Amino acid sequence: MTTVALLGNPNTGKTTLFNELTDKYAYVGNWTGVTVEKKVGQIRHSNTEVIDLPGVYSLSPITKDESVVTNYLLRDSPDLILNVTNASQLKRNLLLSIEVLELGVPVIITLNMIDDLKRSGHYYDLKTLSTELGCPVRTSNARNKEGLPQLKADLVQNQADIKPNSPLQLNYPIMVSQAIRQATKALTTDYQVDAKFARWLAIQYINDNKVVRKYAVAHHLKPLLSQQAYYDAQKFSDQIFETRLSFIEATLATATEQLHSTKHVAITSKIDKVVTNPILGLPIFAGIFFLMFKLSFDWVGTPLSHQLDKLLSGPISTWANQFLTQVGALPMLRSLIVNGLIAGVGGVLTFIPQIFTLFACISILEDSGYMARAALVTDRIMEMIGLNGKAFIPLIIGFGCNVTGIMAARTIEQPKERLITTLISPFMSCSARLPIYSLFVAALFPRNQAVIVLSLYFLGIVVALLMAKFYHVIFRAKEHSVFIVELPQYHIPKLSIVWHGTWDKGKGFIKKAGTIIFAGTVLIWLLSNFNAHGYVTQIDHSFAASLGQILLPIFKPIGITTWQPISALLTGVLAKEVISSSMMVLFHTANQGALIGMIGGSFTALSAYALLVFVLLYIPCFATIGTIKSETGSAKWAAYSVVSSLFISYGLAFLIFQIGSLLT
Amino acid sequence: MGLFINIIIIAAIIGLAGYQIYRAVKRSKQGECAACDYDCEAKKLLNKSKKRAL
Amino acid sequence: MIMNHFMIKKFNGLDDATTQRLHSLGLQVGSDVTAVRFYPFHGPVIIQVDHQKIGIRYRVFQQLTGGDVS
C-alpha cells in the first residue's frame, strides 16, 4: 500500500482534489479551515491511499486543527507528499513547500487552480521550478479535472518505484547553518535519529515550532533543548524566514513568464468592491439572506410545498382512509394513521422544498467564497462583543443544525470563547424551526413571508450576540485571538458540490422524519386522544387539552389564547419539527390550508409573532442539550442553557406582545 | 380485519415511537455526535476512527 | 475605491501568533501593501499583497505601517 499525503495552504483546493482523486465525496467549502481532521481515501483501482490533511500556512501551528499536520509528519511517514499549491499565490505557498521539501520525503508539487494564474497574466516555467526545488512540478485545476490523469498516474506507483528526493538545502546564514549542522550531528550520533529527519527537526526546532519543541521535550533531545535560549536570543527564526523568502523570490523571478489578459481577477475585485463595501457590506449580508428566504418561501420552496401538500391531504389521505375502512381497521387505528402519521409526519415532510432550497443557498454561499467576506464584514461587531469574526462561521453553520454549530465551535482556540460560542449557538435559528415559521407566516403574513422569517433569523443573531457580550463580561474573558482572514477568489459554484452539500444537510431532516418526528407525532396523538379514562372522541377532554389548559395562564401574557400551541411547544422539545407536526394533529386538520385557516383564526399578527419569537429562543432540542452537556463537560451548563433560554424567550415574547398591544 | 390485528398494529406503532424517544434520550445523554441526525464529515471520521480502535 | 500603498515597516508590538501568520502569508518588512478597504469605526482593513487579499484588524494594520496612517 502506498500512502500519499495531500498537504498545502488553506484554500488551495486540496479537498476538491482529494474528492476527484479518490472518487469519494468529502465536505468542501470555499473558506479557510474546512478540513478539521485528516481524511483518508483510496484511489480507485489502485493500491494508493490518499490522506487529506487540513490546510496550513506553515508547519508551525497556531490553532488546534493546524497541529494535526505537524503531528502527522512527526509520527507517520508517508511514501509521497503531494503538495497542493495555489498557483496564483505561489510565493507564500512555497514557504510551506520548503518546509516539506526539507524533510526529504518524496514530494510532488502541483500548481493547482492553474486557470486563475493564467487569467492573472502570468505563467511559470515548470522545468525551472522543478530544478530549483528539486522535485517534480505539475499543474492542475481540480474544479474542472484539468491535469488530474497525470497526477493520478504519478500517485499510483508502487512504493519501490517512487524516486527519492534529497532534502532541499537552502543557504541559511552561517550562524544558522552551523547551529543546524551541530544539532543534526548530535541527534544522529547520540540519539540514532535518521540524518534527514534530524536536520528537519533541528530546523523546525530552531524556527520555534511549538509542536516540534514539545516533541523534543518529550523525547529528551538535549542537543536541541540546551541551545533553545541561544537560538531564540539570536532571532534565528527571523533569519530562516528571510532566507526562505528570498530563495522563493529569486526562484519565482527566474521562472515567471508573462501572458496577457487579467479578466478573472478583475471580476473578483468588482464583486468585492460591492460585497465588502464598508457601508454596504452589512446590508448586503442581510440582502443575501433575504434573497435566500425569498427563494425558500416565496419563489421556489412554498409553491412546491403547496403541491406536495395538495397531494398528501387530497389523494393520499383519502385513499388511506378508504383503504383502512375497507380492510376493517378500527377508528382508533384509522385516526392514528390518517390524523396522526400522515397529517403530522407527512405534514412536516411537505416542508422539504423550503428546507432544501435554504440548504442549497447556504451551500452556494459556502462554495462561492462569500463566507470569508461575511466573517470580515461582521468582525467589527464581533470584536466589540469580544468574539472573533471567525466565530461567526460556527454560528452560520448553526443555521443548519445547532448541534453541528456547537461541534464546529471546536475549532475556536480560546476555551472561554469556545464556551461562549457553545452557549449562544442554540439561539441561531436552525432548519428544524422552518416548518413552524412557514405555517405561521403563510397564515398571518402572506405578503411578507420572507421579511418576517428574515427578522426572526436576525433576532436570533442579535440575542446570541447580546448574550455573548453578557457572558464575555461575566467570564472576564480577555483574549486576543488572531484575526487574519484570507479572501479567496470567487468561484462559480459547481453544481455537484452544491448538490452534495445540500443533500448532506438535508438527509438529516428526512432521517429525523422517520425517527424523532415520527415519535413526537405518535406521542402527541396519544396525548390528544386519551385521558385518564381511556380513549376520547372529543379532543377537548384529552390529556393534551388539560395540560395545555393548566399552562394557559402562564402563556396568556405572551398572547397565546388556546391550549393547542402550548401542548405543541411541550412536545417540541423532542425536536423542533415536532411543533409543526403536533399543531397539525392537535388542530385535527389533514392539510396545511385548513391549518393555516385555523391559525389565522386563533392568532393575531402580533401574538403569532410573539409565539414565533418564543419558538425561536425557547428550550433547545434534546440533541442540542446533550451536545452542550458533552462539549462543556458538565450537566450544569446544559441545565443552565435550558433555564436561561426559557427565561429569555419568555421575557422577549412578553415584551413584544405587551408593547405591541399598547401600540395597536 | 380482526380486533387482534388492529391492536397489534397500534401497539407496534406506539412501541416504535416509544423506542425512538427512548433512543433519542439515550443518545442525547451520550452527547457529541450521537445526538445529531446530520451525517457530517466530522461525524463520519469519528465513527471510522472508533471502528478502527476496536 | 480607496487605493493606498504602504510599506511594511515593522512587526514589533504584534503578538507572536499574528506575526507568524503574517509571515506565512508572505509578508515581511519592506513588503509593498495596498490597503484596498478600510471599514468605519476602525474596523478591519483589507490589504492586498502579491495578488492576494487579506483581512486584518485595524490595530494590526497600524502596527505594520508604523502608525502614521490616519
Query: Model confidence over A441-481: pLDDT tens digits?
Result: 888 888 888 889 889 988 999 999 999 888 888 887 665 66
Neighbours of chain A (3+ CB pairs under 8 A): B, C
Residues shown for chain A = 664
Instruction: Kindly indicate the confidence band of residue A120, based on its pLDDT and cuts at 50, 70 and 90.
Output: confident
Counted across chains A and B, CB pairs separated by less than 8 A come out at 116
Instruction: Kindly indicate the confidence band of residue A413, based on its pLDDT and cuts at 50, 70 and 90.
Output: low
For CA atoms A644, A645, A651, A655, the dihedral sign is positive
d(CA A155, CA A633): 43
Residue A77 in grid coordinates: 511517514
Q: What is the pLDDT of residues C9-34, one digit of tens each?
A: 888 878 878 888 888 888 888 888 88
* Domain positions in chain C: 4-64
The dihedral over CA atoms of A322, A323, A326, A330, expressed in degrees to the nearest 10, equals -90
- What's the rounded mean pLDDT across residues C36-59? 84
- Quick one: DSSP state of residue A147? T
Task: Please check the confidence at residue A303 and state whether its pLDDT lies above 80.
Answer: yes
Per-residue model confidence (pLDDT) at position B41? 52
Per-residue model confidence (pLDDT) at position C59? 86
Q: What's A174-258's CATH class?
A: mainly alpha
Residue C13 in grid coordinates: 508590538
Task: Please check the confidence at residue C36 and state whether its pLDDT lies above 60.
Answer: yes
User: A48 pairs with which residues across the strands?
Assistant: A2
- Report the residue from B9, B14, B20 with minimal CB separation from A516: B20
Instruction: Kindly indicate the confidence band of residue A243, based on its pLDDT and cuts at 50, 70 and 90.
Output: very high
Residues A119-150 as b or e (16 or more Cβ within 10 Å = b): bbbbbbeeebbbebbebbbbbbbbbeeebbee
Q: Which residues contact A367 (CB under 8 A, 6 or more apart)?
A: A28, A29, A30, A491, A493, A494, A497, A498, A501
d(CA A107, CA A110): 10
Q: What is the pLDDT of residues A555-567, one digit of tens each?
A: 999 999 889 899 9
- What's the rounded mean pLDDT across residues A71-92? 87
d(CA A208, CA A214): 10
- What's the rounded mean pLDDT across residues C32-47? 85
Q: Which helix (H) or strand (E) holds A429?
A: none
Distances (CA, A) of A169 to A37, A109, A196, A227, C61: 31, 17, 11, 22, 34
- Report the residue from A26, A523, A626 with minimal CB separation from B28: A626
First to last CA, chain B: 49
Q: Which residues contact A305 (CB under 8 A, 6 or more apart)?
A: A350, A351, A352, A353, A354, A438, A592
Task: Please check the confidence at residue A24 and state whether its pLDDT lies above 80.
Answer: no
Q: Which of residues 557-616 of A touch B (CB under 8 A)?
A: 574-575
Task: Kindly identify which residue of chain B lies nearest to residue A332, measuring between CA atoms.
Answer: B10
Q: Is C23 near chain A, with CB under 8 Å?
A: yes
Give the residue from A507, A521, A519, A510 showing the smallest Cα distance to A342.
A521
Q: What angle do CA A76, A20, A130 make, to 5 degrees?
A: 65
Instruction: Give which of A211, A484, A485 to mutate to test C binding, by max C Cβ within 10 Å.
Output: A484
d(CA A661, CA A529): 35
Q: Is A402 annotated as a binding residue?
A: no
Q: In sequence order, what E strands does A570-635 have?
A: none
- What's the rounded mean pLDDT across residues A311-316? 84
pTM greater than the 0.80 cutoff: no
Backbone angles phi, psi at A5, to 5 degrees: -105, 130
Per-residue model confidence (pLDDT) at position A31? 47
* Domain positions in chain B: 3-53
Instruction: Kindly indicate the confidence band of residue A247, based on its pLDDT and cuts at 50, 70 and 90.
Output: very high
* Domain positions in chain A: 2-161, 174-258, 283-663
d(CA A195, CA A293): 60
First to last CA, chain A: 74
Instruction: Kindly indicate the confidence band of residue C70, based on its pLDDT and cuts at 50, 70 and 90.
Output: very low
Q: What is the pLDDT of residues A53-75, one digit of tens each?
A: 878 888 888 776 677 788 888 88
Residue A120 in grid coordinates: 492573472
Q: Is A19 annotated as a binding residue?
A: yes
Instruction: Kindly indicate the confidence band of residue A10, based on its pLDDT and cuts at 50, 70 and 90.
Output: confident
Q: What is the pLDDT of residues A358-393, one digit of tens each?
A: 888 888 887 777 878 888 888 888 888 877 777 777
Top mean-pLDDT range of A224-228, A648-652, B14-18? A648-652
Chains B and A touch (3+ CB pairs under 8 A): yes
Task: Please check the confidence at residue B30 and state whether its pLDDT lies above 70.
Answer: no
> Is CATH 3.40.50.300 the right assignment for the domain spanning A2-161?
yes
Task: Please check the confidence at residue B45 and state whether its pLDDT lies above 70.
Answer: no
Q: Give A411-416 contacts, CB < 8 A, sequence gap 24+.
A: A411/A33, A411/A36, A411/A63, A411/A64, A411/A65, A412/A388, A412/A481, A413/A62, A413/A63, A413/A64, A413/A481, A414/A477, A414/A479, A414/A481, A416/A475, A416/A477, A416/A479
Region for residue A619 given its phi and psi (left: phi exceeds 0; alpha: psi -120 to 50; beta: otherwise): beta
Task: Please check the confidence at residue C69 and state whether its pLDDT lies above 50.
Answer: no
User: Is A245 close to C53, i.e. CB distance below 8 A?
Assistant: no
d(CA A1, CA A43): 11
- The Cβ-side half-sphere exposure at A475, using a 13 Å CA radius, reads 21
Per-residue model confidence (pLDDT) at position A2? 81
Task: Name the residue with higher pLDDT: A656 or A38.
Answer: A656
User: Is A515 close to B3, i.e. CB distance below 8 A?
Assistant: no
Give the position of cell 432550497.
A357
Task: Please check the confidence at residue C39 and state whether its pLDDT lies above 70.
Answer: yes
Backbone angles phi, psi at A386, to 5 degrees: 85, 15
Task: Please check the confidence at residue A233 and state whether its pLDDT lies above 70.
Answer: yes
Residue A277 in grid coordinates: 463595501
Task: Please check the confidence at residue A612 and state whether its pLDDT lies above 80.
Answer: yes
Per-residue model confidence (pLDDT) at position A411? 66
Task: Name the residue with higher pLDDT: A227 or A37.
Answer: A227
Q: Is A627 near chain B, with CB under 8 Å?
A: yes
Instruction: Kindly indicate the confidence band of residue B37, based on its pLDDT and cuts at 50, 70 and 90.
Output: low
Distances (CA, A) of A96 to A85, A206, A252, C8: 9, 16, 15, 22
Task: Please check the confidence at residue B29 and state whether its pLDDT lies above 80.
Answer: no
- Report the residue from A327, A519, A629 with minimal CB separation from B17: A519
User: Is A507 close to B38, i.e. CB distance below 8 A?
Assistant: yes
- What's the rounded mean pLDDT across residues A165-189? 89
Q: For chain C, percent helix, then strand, then coil, each to nearest 5? A: 25, 30, 45
- The Cβ-side half-sphere exposure at A173, using a 13 Å CA radius, reads 13
> Taking the domain C4-64, which CATH number applies?
2.30.30.90
DSSP A32-69: TT---S-EEEE-TTSSEEEEEPPP-SSSS-SSHHHHHH
Average of per-residue pLDDT values in chain A: 84
Q: Which helix (H) or strand (E) holds A165?
A: none
Distance, CA of A538 to chain centre? 47
- Report the residue from B16, B21, B36 with minimal CB separation from A401: B36
